[in-house]
Structure 1
């Protein structure tokens, strides 16, 4: 899991502040996708029971506030996405292959679709789903499978930890690589190992665990450099 970081005054945290050309070969060049870009994908599943399908739906969208992190630069502010399930289609294989007119029957037998967002789908990519959806028997929504069949079976500590980590509004502290207070900005980027050395000197300061009662994400201490005599 990667914490969600927030841009400060329009700054782009993925831009390197280290102007030392000697470390240029250690950096990666990336072209971030524009904000609010929309992509579509589908997930195929087979022989899932209600609990297993509920788990899949929870993984896609645990809560309304949850945001996944995808791609490069997740630890420095890139890759935040919101997944909006817009359709759920079921195939009844027994019914489909019992008919004598297999090539004339529909592919799907039940479906749920989001009436507000369905029409944003690319029709050429999902031609079959767009053609059949209006004549299919309705089924439970993805939220029903998530909330009715799965969520109540989760361990409360694990559930709270996942949902805190996935909610950008629950991250109040600045997110960056572990740093010590005595380094300037260029040194912090080049010497990310320094914090770990100081952490050894301070008897391994660890993050506090998250429990069902937790309402915020704890932060690590920014150590000062230890000067040995």
Structure 2
């Protein structure tokens, strides 16, 4: 069935992704040719820096899922939840199981773990998106142990693996997922499989997720 890209922004006209409806099928074809078997579309929600067209989300996903299905690709609708000041965290979970979350770069949100614990208490597994971006969450940070105690999974971006930014997390065995965070770059599906070929232990973790 192939691996799943668990983080991307490819639904046309929904958030800050750049894929048009006319080029959407071509992008999916590149995923299929690269050996990716499934895709989780994860548009931004509650991100103060990104406008998301929530009213079009379900309809656009159904359109996209129909095209993907005709090409033999499995799709999931999820979201990338920005954890800011909201008291209660609400997301669109991937396969009703995984909640992808992101944070501000410079400082952790207030009462972060209390809110994440409440989210996990609903039966969802938290995925921390592109962990390499957060200046307050280095490999040595004791906060990483708290994420792991929560049962959270750690995701890094393909580009961060290639640049070396994600390597400390990989060498420490902390990474559970490598994903594209694709906003429209056609080379990323192939690069995802190439990077995973160099980190088979992460590939195996992703296979066990059942997506």
Between the two structures, name the one with larger relative contact order (CA 8 Å, sep ≥ 6). Answer: 1
Between structure 1 and structure 2, the one with the greater Rg is 1
Report the structure, 1 or 2, having the larger helix content: 2
